[in-house]
Amino acid sequence: MEVAVKNDEHLVKLAGVLRRIISKSTGVNDESMLLSDSEKEELMETLQDVAVDLQNENDRLNDVKDKNTKSFLDN
């Protein structure tokens, strides 16, 4: 449940960045599609948070799988 809440928070942040990109894309030149340095930093931080959360969840699931496998083999 906690991971789902964190994932939702990250999705909201990413949606905000995408919304800003789309709103800037209505400009005439290609430079309007570029992100500001602060937006790039925010996006990278959000992606890093998501990567860490996914790795933690993957580790947790592997631990559960290993415990279940060991339990199955012991029986």
pLDDT of residue 21: 73
pLDDT of residue 31: 53
Q: What total of structural domains would you count in the chain?
A: 1
Walking along the chain (75 residues) 10 residues at a time, the average pLDDT comes out as: 70 79 63 70 84 88 89 79
**Which segments of 1-75 does DSSP mark as H helices, in order?**
2-24, 37-74
Instruction: Find where tokens 């592997």 sit.
Output: 62
DSSP-derived secondary structure letter, 29: S
Q: Residue 58 is part of which domain span?
A: 2-74
pLDDT of residue 63: 92
Please report the sign of the dihedral spanned by the C-alpha atoms of residue 3, residue 4, residue 8, residue 9. Answer: negative
Q: pTM for this structure?
A: 0.54
